[in-house]
Amino acid sequence: MTDLETRAAPRGPALRRAAPALLGYAAVRALGLLTLAVWSAARDKSAYTLLTARWDSLWYARVAELGYGYEVRLPNGDLHSDLAFFPLLPWLERGLAAVTPFSAADAGFVVSLLASLAAAWGVFAVADHVHGRRAGVCAVLLWAVLPVGIVQSMAYSESLFTALAAWSLYAVLTGRWVTAGVLASFAGLTRPVGLAVVAAVWAAGTVSFVRDRSAARDDGARLLPRALGLLLAPFGTAAYVLWVGRRTGKGPLGYLDVQAGWRNGFDGGYAFARFTAEKFTSFPSALAGVGLTVGVGLVVWLYVVCVRRGQPLPLLVYSGVVTALALCASSYFGSKPRLLMPAFPLLLPLALALARARPRTSALVVAGAAVVSAAYGAFWLNGSGPP
């Protein structure tokens, strides 16, 4: 058996084992929502509207209600098409709205709340498998108290994607290749960064194939599930991208043209670096430039630590691709923190350190971070908010 397959899954009922993490996660999210409600009320705004009927959530709800085909031509000539938004979240919104009194926006909120719990459980499962139960709890709490953690409760696709990605990675780590492939395929129907999950499954599967061949353990009973998982993994992304290409009449790469209409592409980080450098041209904005530089440096440092500590290959590949796609995108610089949110394996070194600290110290760190995250989330959504 391969290294991934020989590691046994944690014993005991899975939900009971994850309960402390899920309860802690729910408490952090409740604090964030309560803070948002109080802050919004003080500004005569609706917290629920901020969570369900602004920015991308409007595009998802429109697709759920009317299907694809809506475009907006901006004064500068840019063409914003709803084809940029992958279909799984709108499908779920439409399905839930069809069997309940909920509107598509309401359904998106419910889906995100449930998906965020599933994501927290998946983050715990991965961290528990790699570092143990206490580190798993800490990883979930750290993911919950991210500065942009409020997005996990919005009618956005980040929570749904993270849930599918985390459980696909857990399936890979425990040798459940078909499950990993199916979940990777659904992740690919959720966001373009589903490619990161596909890459993780393929990297782990390829290494597993090579190791089995080297050890003369390539019997059909072992190869077939693994091969099937690898074949299923890219299906979701490929199906939607090809469908968009056919619908737009621009061929297999038509989706890139749709993204270009939003001025979004991949330039290796040049535009983001220039955007950061421009912040240093005046004193007030220089503080933002310092913050951006420190933030990027922290992300890179965490990834290097993950590599040096021998984090499992699928986690390294997944977080590496998510990070590269987020930092090297050529537009929507304010979105980068939430685009990095699914890269939860980067938090594992911090989770391990927190797990090894005294319980009182860990509790104070998490509580303080939760308060800061709640306040920042309320301030953020009542201000510029996520693009």
Q: Is residue 43 part of a domain?
A: yes
- List the domain range (segments joined by +) for residue 326: 3-8+17-381
Q: Is residue 387 part of a domain?
A: no
Distance CA 106, CA 190 (A): 18
Is residue 12 over pLDDT 80? no
Q: Give per-residue pLDDT as tens, 250-288.
A: 988 899 999 999 988 888 888 888 888 888 888 777 887
Q: Give per-residue pLDDT as tens, 28-80.
A: 999 999 999 999 999 999 999 999 998 999 999 999 999 999 999 988 888 99
Distance CA 101, CA 49 (A): 18
What 3-state class would DSSP assign to 80?
A: strand
Q: What is the pTM of this model?
A: 0.94
Q: Is residue 109 part of a domain?
A: yes
Q: Is residue 386 part of a domain?
A: no
Structural domain count of the chain: 1
Residue 275: predicted pLDDT? 83
State the average pLDDT for the chain.
Answer: 92
Q: What's the average model confidence in pLDDT over 216-230?
A: 78
Least confident of 3-12, 39-48, 362-371: 3-12
Residue 302: predicted pLDDT? 97
Terminal Cα distance for the chain, rounded? 46
Q: Is residue 39 part of a domain?
A: yes
Q: What's the average model confidence in pLDDT over 95-103?
A: 97
Q: Is residue 147 part of a domain?
A: yes
Distance CA 94, CA 60 (A): 10
Tokens of 361: 């110290």
Is residue 5 over pLDDT 60? no
Q: Is residue 216 part of a domain?
A: yes
Tokens of 54: 């602004």
